[in-house]
Amino acid sequence: MKIAIIGGSGFVGTKLIDALSVSPEFSVVNIDKEPSFSHPSISIIGNVLDINSLADSLANVDVVVLLAAEHRDDVSPTSLYYDVNVQGMQNTLEAMEKQGVKKIIFTSSVAIYGLDKDNPNESFPAEPFNHYGKSKWEAEILLQQWAQNHTDWSIDIVRPTVIFGEGNRGNVFNLLNQIASGKFMLIGKGNNEKSMSYIGNIVAFIQFLITKMNPGIQAYNYVDKPDFTTKDLVHHTGKILEKRIPTTRIPYWLGMLGGYGFDLLALLTRKKLSISSVRVKKFCAVTQYDSTKAMSSGFQPPYSMQEGLRRTLAAEFGK
């Protein structure tokens, strides 16, 4: 089975290629606008905005895994979210049709639900609050419309929550780094539950779907349970690192005020800063999601949340 991973040079794609490459069942090609430092021999420079070269790269492919996305909080101009995430989806579907490829797995996001929702499952109405979530939802709508006119296609949508793991330098790493260094500031009470996904499990779930695809369209939230509160995360991190983690606590309103200050500073300096009002809001929000459907599909996560956290901390901080 030949698998084309579009956008596979990043964190998730690299780990997915690692997992697929050890199985003789799969042949893998990576299509990305960025070179892959881990898998250069199977990589092709390509872009979802270039439909002709994309179609050429999909020759003889059986399954497409679409990871390519604009996802940072501070992408400018904001039209890039829609160019890459929505038009890129349309181009991918047309390129697949040209080559006769009828199976696609798309990594969307729980961002389509918005913030502070009550443990939404896959039937929950979409209410994204930022351009990233809006563009991911528009891409899903394209898939829904495509599925209506292509009933013999197999389309799986995976909506992971925030992903963490060894080698990731995203928001969870920044949080763990602050906790481990003792420079962590808890904004608000810290009782907000944070659904997270360990990289080893999300990769295993995508691999599971590749082998189980059937005609039709399915959407799956992906979350590893149990959900940690921010205070839980501080506690478990301190326990694994065998150190007491001092915590400075500041009120939510003060944290948001500081976030707006950094927004203004970023605007004036034209620099991308690690702190913003959006990131403060996301940090303090309840981000809890239902993953019953994924966990009832026959998939068994190979790692517990505690083991995923332990493996991540061991790789990053030597514990």
Closest CA to 16 of 203, 164, 159, 212: 203
- Are 143 and 108 spatial neighbours (Cβ–Cβ below 8 Å)? no
User: Which is more confident, 143 or 79?
Assistant: 143
Closest CA to 44 of 63, 59, 24: 59
Mean pLDDT taken over the chain: 90
The owner of tokens 């969870």 is 172
Domain map (residue ranges) of the chain: 2-168+197-225+289-303
Highest mean pLDDT among 3-12, 272-281, 306-315: 3-12
As a whole number of angstroms, the distance between CA 175 and CA 198 comes to 15
As a whole number of angstroms, the distance between CA 266 and CA 22 comes to 44
- Are 172 and 162 spatial neighbours (Cβ–Cβ below 8 Å)? yes
Question: What is the per-residue pLDDT across 23-48, written as a single tens digit (0 to 9) for each?
Answer: 999 999 999 999 999 999 999 999 99
Closest CA to 67 of 119, 129, 3, 115: 3
As a whole number of angstroms, the distance between CA 140 and CA 228 comes to 28
Question: What is the per-residue pLDDT across 149-173, written as a single tens digit (0 to 9) for each?
Answer: 999 999 999 999 989 999 887 778 8
Q: Is the peptide bond before 77 cis (omega within 30 degrees of 0)?
A: yes
Q: Three-state SS for 216?
A: strand
User: Which residues are catalytically annotated?
Assistant: 132
User: Which is more confident, 134 or 248?
Assistant: 134
The pLDDT of residue 74 is: 67
Q: Three-state SS for 112?
A: helix
As a whole number of angstroms, the distance between CA 111 and CA 121 comes to 13
CATH code for 2-168+197-225+289-303?
3.40.50.720
Confidence of residue 183 (pLDDT cuts 50, 70, 90): confident
Question: What is the per-residue pLDDT across 60-107, written as a single tens digit (0 to 9) for each?
Answer: 999 999 999 887 766 777 888 899 999 999 999 999 999 999 999 999
Q: Three-state SS for 292?
A: helix
Burial of 69: CB neighbours in 10 Å, binned 0-12, 13-18, 19+ = buried
The pLDDT of residue 319 is: 57
Closest CA to 223 of 137, 76, 59, 113: 113
As a whole number of angstroms, the distance between CA 137 and CA 153 comes to 20
Can you tell me the mean pLDDT for 179-188? Answer: 76
